[in-house]
Amino acid sequence: MTRNIILPVSREEVRKISAGDKILLTGIIYTARDAAHKRMIENKDNKGIDFPFEIEGSAIYFAGPAPAKPGRVIGSVGPTTSGRMDAHSPRLIKEGNLIMIGKGERNNTVVDAMVKYGAVYLAAPGGAGALMAQKVKSCKLCAYEDLGAEAVYELYVEEMPLIAVIDSAGRNLYDEVKKDL
């Protein structure tokens, strides 16, 4: 099934997404890689500094955009390996992150948090950073400029093509494919 998802989205809407669904995502998403994840949580826990964006209902894309070429909004913006965020994702899910976007498998702790709190993991095609960049209509620095490409950016995307690989019930396409091998 193909689903057009318009952000922001409610937890109830996220729970309707099933592993295997094709997603066309439109709205504001935030890029954050491992350094940004670590800083967000350390700032919150150790300094009482709030997250740099509204975490409740958020969509986080595990990506670090390349600089934009002249006349472009953004450079290539392909997904990074999601497992690098596994140490921090359960906490952000608990805080309200509903959609994670990346590539590769997630550990059981992340999947358990997704089931408990109602989040989904969407896969972006690896090696398709140029395609993803075409779907970005605006890009602005949100936080942690000192991290360069790993800073948090706010992106407005239109019909970003993704696949739901782990749903809020815990159905995991990666596990299903392994069983079929």
Active centre residues (catalytic):
37
Q: How far apart are CA 123 and CA 18, in angstroms?
A: 13
Using CA atoms in the order 31, 63, 26, 112, what is the torsion angle rounded to 10 degrees? -80
User: How far apart, in Å, are the Cα atoms of 150 and each of 63, 79, 159, 181?
Assistant: 8, 12, 23, 36
The position carrying tokens 């991290």 is 147
Residue type, 10: S
Sign of CA dihedral 36, 156, 74, 142: negative
